Amino acid sequence: MAESVQEKVIRIIAEQAVLDVSDVHPHSTLQELGIDSLGLVESIFAIEEAFDISVPFNANEPGKSDFDISSVAAIVAAVEGLVAQKAA
Amino acid sequence: MRRVVITGAGTINPLAHDVPGTFAAFREGRCGIGPLDIRDKDRLAIQIGAQVKGWEAEAHFNRQQITLYDRFTQFALIAAKQAVEQSGLNFDGHLGYEAGAVLGTAGGGLITSDENFRTVYEEGKNRVHPFVVPKLMNNAAASHLSMEWNLRGPTFSVATACASANHAMGLAFQMVRSGAARAMLTGGSEAMLCFGGIKAWEGLRVMSRDSCRPFSANRSGMVQGEGAAVFVFEEYEHARKRGAQILAEVAGFAMTADAGDIVTPSSQGGERAMTGALRDARLNPEDVGYINAHGTGTAANDKAECAAVAHAFGQHADRLMISSTKSMHGHLIGGTGAVELLACLMALKDGVIAPTIGYEEPDPECALDVVPNVAREARVTACLSNAFAFGGLNAVIALKAV
């Protein structure tokens, strides 16, 4: 069975955080996982490459960006949205 | 220890092709940032930059010279010509042995690299022009200055990312002060506005897509620029005896390393560089009327820099002026400190403080007098110019009126 968006995103985040995928939960925040601003920029790059999407994110105004990074679940939902947009 | 003064200044940057034009733009708060005009722009996410406009290399250099001069070398040569002519120095005789050139640049001949990578990788050609190496090398501009002006003393390039020009000028200052040289050409040059040069910066996600608004709560990041400024640093007695016009005294310099993060700045590193420059210049914090900020317009820089100023200057931080001219000429990366030193010269010589344009909303973490949007008349007798580079390398120059 193909990997779901959530599984793929969690795999990317786990790799960035140097954690096992089982330690990354939907409710986890990037801060809890020890991912700093540079780690975030790298994760977004990996997500863009994995899903062939373009993520609207500017490190200067992360709060204002349309891409919600408040938790792993939020990131998964945002990526699902962008993947759906691409398909549409 | 000898005193060091500036007796010549030259520049080509997104605002103007000379110093008087740049001062006029600073006074008017004019913006040099606009839509990029480069090859393959449609494949870039970032569509704006501060380019040098109306530049025709053919009007200044012959065909053979252009074969050897990358755009960053061209800019350095033009800026140096203006500076040397203003200084009135002649290096043909003995002075040439006591003079050199130290120039800052981060990318060197990056456009030459970019163009030739295309040739071999994209177009699949198996041959490049014979002068690719001497054209792209980081020290090309410094070397061509030495050849153009017969400078036979210490000559080299300095590459410390966004602090390159300040490190270069600091070293030139120390050489004249110590007696290792009597006069130095120094400053910085950068020409990184090509597809690869911008694409690399895009990756960091700190670039603005609209404008550069340092210290403004609604800032959206940095904007790249290009250009050069070159100065003549001269031993004071030498300048005085020949009746040279003195633009300012280079009073002090300090450099520090954060020893922390490769991109995130530390306010302590910047603070130590500022207090170090004051100590080196024998200035009290209260003597400083103006700071030309590094002020990139990224959240990380602006907040750390304002905290550093607050700590370094204490209560006086609320009385001094600090502006970021990057809002007008963009971030010239390795050349930026040199163009920004011009704003310090203007403050000391003309009593006009260049503004931070694009300022829209106060940021409580940057609660200093950032000279928002409009230039201001003020009497200033000492100023600092900050440069804080990726890699955590900080270099601050102190200037005094003479």
Q: Judge whether B229 and B10 are in contact, CB under 8 Å.
A: yes
Query: Among A37, A41, A60, whose Cβ lies nearest the Cβ of B221?
Result: A60
Nearest residue to B294 via CA among B256, B339, B251:
B339
How far apart are alpha carbons B59 and B40 in whole angstroms? 26
Chain B residues in contact with A38 by the CB 8 A cut-off are: 261, 263-264
State residue B378's pLDDT score: 98
Handedness of CA B123, B128, B131, B134 (dihedral sign): positive
**Residue keyed to tokens 């609660």:** B367
State residue B125's pLDDT score: 95
pLDDT tens per residue across span B40-94: 999 999 999 999 999 999 999 999 999 999 999 999 999 999 999 999 999 999 9
State residue A28's pLDDT score: 95
Instruction: Judge whether residue B394 has pLDDT over 90.
Output: yes
- Chain B: give the shortest CA distance to residue A9, in Å: 20
Q: Judge whether B158 and B76 are in contact, CB under 8 Å.
A: no
Per DSSP (E only), the strands in B282-392 are 290-292, 321-323, 352-353, 376-377, 382-389
Higher pLDDT residue, B118 or A66?
Answer: B118
Nearest residue to B330 via CA among B250, B245, B200, B226:
B226
SS3 at position B354 = coil
Instruction: Judge whether residue B134 has pLDDT over 70.
Output: yes
ipTM here: 0.79
Given strand B227-235, what is the order of strands in its sheet? Answer: B155-158, B99-104, B183-190, B227-235, B4-12, B248-257, B393-400, B382-389, B290-292, B321-323
How far apart are alpha carbons B141 and B74 in whole angstroms? 8
- Chain A: give the shortest CA distance to residue B298, in Å: 6
Instruction: Judge whether residue B183 has pLDDT over 80.
Output: yes
**Catalytic residue flag (residue B94):** no
| Region B98-106 average pLDDT | 98
- Does the B4-242 domain belong in CATH 3.40.50.170? no
Query: Among B205, B263, B300, whose Cβ lies nearest the Cβ of A58?
Result: B205
Chain A residues in contact with B297 by the CB 8 A cut-off are: 60
State residue B172's pLDDT score: 98
State residue A60's pLDDT score: 81
**Residue keyed to tokens 């010549």:** B8
Nearest residue to A53 via CA among A30, A12, A6, A87:
A87
Spell out the domains of chain A, with CATH numbers in brackets. Answer: 5-87 (1.10.1200.10)
State residue B31's pLDDT score: 98
What's phi and psi for B205, nearest 5 deg?
60, 40
Chain centroid to Cα B27, Å, comes to: 18
pLDDT tens per residue across span B252-287: 999 999 999 999 999 999 999 999 999 999 999 999
CA distances B213 to B8, B27, B198, B199, B209, Å, are 31, 17, 19, 21, 11
pLDDT tens per residue across span A57-85: 888 877 677 789 999 999 999 999 999 99
B252-400: same fold as B4-242? Answer: yes
**Catalytic residue flag (residue B294):** yes
Residue B198, classified by CB atoms within 10 Å of its CB into exposed (0-12), middle (13-18) or buried (19+), is buried
Query: Among B238, B331, B366, B383, which one carries the catalytic annotation?
Result: B331
Chain B residues in contact with A44 by the CB 8 A cut-off are: 205
Amino acid, single-letter form, for residue B289: G
pLDDT tens per residue across span A17-53: 999 999 999 999 999 999 988 899 999 999 999 999 9
Q: Would you list the domain boundaries of chain B?
A: 4-242, 252-400
Within 13 Å, how many C-alpha atoms sit on residue B181's CB side? 27
Chain centroid to Cα B248, Å, comes to: 17
Nearest CA in chain A to B46: A58
- Bridge partner residues of B157 (DSSP): B103
Nearest CA in chain A to B212: A60
- Rg for chain A, CA atoms, rounded: 12
Q: Do A59 and B263 touch (CB under 8 A)?
A: no
Grade residue A1 by pLDDT with cuts at 50, 70 and 90: low
Q: What share of chain B is helix, strand, coil (3-state, %, to 5)?
A: 40, 20, 35
Nearest CA in chain B to A45: B203
Amino acid, single-letter form, for residue B208: S
Chain B residues in contact with chain A using a Cβ-Cβ cutoff of 8 Å: 45, 203-209, 218-221, 261, 263-264, 297-300
How far apart are alpha carbons B124 and B146 in whole angstroms? 36
What's phi and psi for A5, nearest 5 deg?
-55, -45
How far apart are alpha carbons B298 and B388 in whole angstroms? 12
- Rg for chain B, CA atoms, rounded: 20
Q: Judge whether A57 and A65 are in contact, CB under 8 Å.
A: yes
pLDDT tens per residue across span B306-360: 999 999 999 999 999 999 999 999 999 999 999 999 999 999 999 999 999 999 9
Query: Among B206, B209, B261, whose Cβ lies nearest the Cβ of A59?
Result: B206
**Catalytic residue flag (residue B331):** yes
* Average pLDDT in chain B: 97
Nearest CA in chain A to B217: A61
Task: Find the DSSP H helices in chain A.
Answer: 5-17, 37-51, 72-87
- Which of A50-64, B47-61, B178-192, B195-209 is least confident? A50-64
pLDDT above 90: percentage of residues in chain B: 100
- Chain B: give the shortest CA distance to residue A37, in Å: 9
Chain A residues in contact with B45 by the CB 8 A cut-off are: 54
Chain A residues in contact with B299 by the CB 8 A cut-off are: 59-61
- Does the B252-400 domain belong in CATH 1.20.1740.10? no
Query: Among A41, A57, A61, whose Cβ lies nearest the Cβ of B220?
Result: A61
